[in-house]
Amino acid sequence: MNSDNKFDVIVIGGGPGGYVAAIRCAQLGLKTACVDEFTGKDNKPSLGGTCLNVGCIPSKALLESSHHYEQLNHGLDQHGIKVSGVKIDVPTMIKNKDDIVGRLTGGISGLFKANKISSFHGRGKLLAGKNVEITSADGEVSSISANNIILAAGSRPIHIPSAPIDNKCIVDSTGALNFDKTPKTLGVIGAGVIGLELGSVWSRLGSEVVLLEAQDTFLPAVDLKVAAEAKRQFKKQGLDIKMSARVTKATTKGNKVLVEYEDASGDHSIELDKLIVAVGRRPNTDNLFAPEAPVELDERGFVEVDEIWQTNQPSVYAIGDLIRGPMLAHKASEEGVAVAEVIYGEEPEINYDVIPSVIYTNPEIASVGQTEQHLKSAGEKIKIGTFPFAASGRAQALGDTNGMVKVIASEETDQILGVHIIGPQASELIAEAVLAMEYSASSEDLALTIHAHPTLSEALREAALAVDKKAIHIPNR
Ligand code: FAD
Ligand code: NAD
């Protein structure tokens, strides 16, 4: 193998885990290659993985567009603004989303060039001896090798036999980002993060949306009080969320899909224009490594790694959606940086206890740390402060007063153990709580911190004050 094909590090996968790992490796002076197989809508290589191409970014672009539409239609009356004749041009909205994706994925290519990262387009497979076989879209096979390999192949949607994807009427999250018009009726299997975000997009644009959720608990990982408030708000917005609903069969007939499902009240069938299957994601481990380089998987099919993200194969690491932990872009990126530094000889750490999580619905739902129900079942003694956005001057001015902030602290030490926000700008507000928890702050630390007035962030401070019954703008009970 000549020196052009020999690297210090090869990263397989160019998503937020892989591309960030590659950039950090290059910054550290390591000769780095990245192999990614994603092909964009224009049939060209498109770095950025699920997140930039068919995940975080395009979904947030559509959420923003649909939010503007919704606000113009229903959100401005109280401000005395009368708007009529509002129309949505779905192809333009989709083009805007595609343009955003194009700019950001192009930006990653630019960063790769600037950092002198060798970018290979094709499917990577780990062979013995840390060789990587690359198969291009037209079937051409080549090979490169390195001293270290980072597996960052990410995940893909789980498909279920009762609702086979036909990309016509039955789609997964990728198809749901590309409807050419607003479906009159839309079903979503799974009332999880994707179901709620994409269900919200099309509901705001006029679809009648029904969500069919198999479990009997709504958003079980979310704080109970927040989940209850979210469900109330979504119902008010017209999302029809059916719990304990099991889809038995979905069949496309012409331009319609017939969905048969059962719940506690019996068997049902509904005819819909589109059906989104959003029942979770699974790691992309198929054909990722040859039998001669057997990488160990855990019982759920994720790549098994130790505390420095190393697999059972020496100097072969894995990060992001491919391994345990929340399937979140920022978690993948953090691991990308950490693994690059491990390879360079440093001893980085990730504080998995303070990874924020956000659902970008309206209201937004954001959290960090533990929930009340989790702490109580673990026998922790806790104190809780909550503050409603209805008591926030800024939220009143915005006309966006639904929701609240909840701060949970240890009764013994006052250390903040969890912060849960449902309401306006929750996705931005949570950052302060993450920083506070990263520094092991107490609720008193947060309560003593001066916040500008009038801001939404004052609600976080008031919730921290409420932990010790010192909130100013609500009665303390
Ligand atoms: P990925 O982003 O999946 O990237 C893996 C890359 O590797 C892909 O390009 C893939 O094509 C490529 N690949 C796979 N196998 C091979 C192979 N053998 N050879 C070469 N290349 C290969 N997370 C958030 O934090 N915030 C959000 O708002 C958010 N919204 C989302 C919305 C949707 C609709 C979806 C689907 C996901 C969303 N996520 C969000 C989750 C987020 O996208 C993932 O957690 C994140 O992309 C994982 O990063 P990764 O680098 O591990 O993998
Ligand atoms: P999810 O795990 O959030 O939700 C899937 C839902 O489908 C669950 O409520 C589950 O009970 C339900 N379900 C499973 N099988 C079912 C069936 N047969 N019938 C009916 N319901 C069924 O998964 P998702 O929404 O597909 O998202 C995948 C991952 O992507 C998430 O884990 C999340 O980490 C990530 N994501 C994050 C964001 C964000 O950070 N804002 C946005 C989208 C996706």
Each of the 477 residues of the chain gets a pLDDT tens digit; together they read: 567 899 999 999 999 999 999 999 999 999 999 999 999 999 999 999 999 999 999 999 999 999 999 999 999 999 999 999 999 999 999 999 999 999 999 999 999 999 999 999 999 999 999 999 999 999 999 999 999 999 999 999 999 999 999 999 999 999 999 999 999 999 999 999 999 999 999 999 999 999 999 999 999 999 999 999 999 999 999 999 999 999 999 999 999 999 999 999 999 999 999 999 999 999 999 999 999 999 999 999 999 999 999 999 999 999 999 999 999 999 999 999 999 999 999 999 999 999 999 999 999 999 999 999 999 999 999 999 999 999 999 999 999 999 999 999 999 999 999 999 999 999 999 999 999 999 999 999 999 999 999 999 999 999 999 999 999 999 987
| Cβ–Cβ < 8 Å for 400, 423 | yes
- Final residue belonging to a domain, choices 219, 249, 279: 279
Residue 476 lies in a domain: no
What distance in Å separates the CA atoms of residue 48 and residue 38, rounded to the nearest whole number? 9
| Cβ–Cβ < 8 Å for 411, 383 | yes
- Residue 79 is a catalytic residue: no
- Final residue belonging to a domain, choices 350, 368, 385: 350
Q: Say yes or no: 409 and 457 in one domain.
A: yes
Q: Say yes or no: 87 and 212 in one domain.
A: no
| Cβ–Cβ < 8 Å for 324, 156 | no
Specify the 3-state DSSP secondary structure of 402: coil
Q: Say yes or no: 199 and 211 in one domain.
A: yes
Residue 236 lies in a domain: yes
Q: Say yes or no: 241 and 312 in one domain.
A: no
Q: Say yes or no: 317 and 418 in one domain.
A: no
What's the confidence (pLDDT) of residue 238?
A: 95
What backbone torsions phi and psi does residue 319 show, to the nearest 5 degrees? -145, 170
Q: Say yes or no: 401 and 423 in one domain.
A: yes
What's the confidence (pLDDT) of residue 1?
A: 57
Q: Which of 23, 50, 112, 197 to mutate to test the pocket of ligand 1 (most atoms within 8 A of CB)?
A: 50
Residue 67 lies in a domain: yes
Residue nearest to atom 43 of ligand 1 (CA): 51
Q: Say yes or no: 16 and 117 in one domain.
A: yes
In short, whether 57's Cβ falls inside 6 Å of ligand 2 is no
In short, whether 321's Cβ falls inside 6 Å of ligand 2 is no
Residue 426 lies in a domain: yes
Q: Say yes or no: 256 and 188 in one domain.
A: yes
What's the confidence (pLDDT) of residue 476?
A: 86
Number of domains in the chain: 3
Q: Say yes or no: 89 and 116 in one domain.
A: yes
- Final residue belonging to a domain, choices 248, 279, 310: 279
Residue 382 lies in a domain: yes
Q: Say yes or no: 91 and 117 in one domain.
A: yes
Residue 407 lies in a domain: yes
What's the confidence (pLDDT) of residue 271?
A: 98
Q: Would the pTM of this model clear 0.95, i.e. be above it?
A: yes
| 57 sits in which H/E element | helix 56-70
* CATH classification at residue 185: 3.50.50.60
Which residues, at least 6 apart from 146, have a Cβ–Cβ distance to it below 8 Å? 6, 7, 8, 9, 10, 33, 130, 132
What's the confidence (pLDDT) of residue 254?
A: 94
Domain of 69 in residue numbering reads as 3-157+282-350
Q: Say yes or no: 60 and 110 in one domain.
A: yes
Secondary structure (DSSP) of 129-157: GGEEEEE-TTS-EEEEEEEEEEE---EEE
Specify the 3-state DSSP secondary structure of 6: strand
Which atom in ligand 1 lies closest to the alpha carbon of residue 288? 18
In short, whether 359's Cβ falls inside 6 Å of ligand 1 is no
Secondary structure (DSSP) of 179-223: -SS--SEEEEE--SHHHHHHHHHHHHTT-EEEEE-SSSSSSTTS-
In 3D space, the residue among 399, 476, 432, 435 whose CA is nearest the CA of residue 74 turns out to be 399
* CATH classification at residue 415: 3.30.390.30
Q: Say yes or no: 313 and 333 in one domain.
A: yes
What's the confidence (pLDDT) of residue 4?
A: 82
Q: Which of 155, 156, 177, 194 to mutate to test the pocket of ligand 2 (most atoms within 8 A of CB)?
A: 194
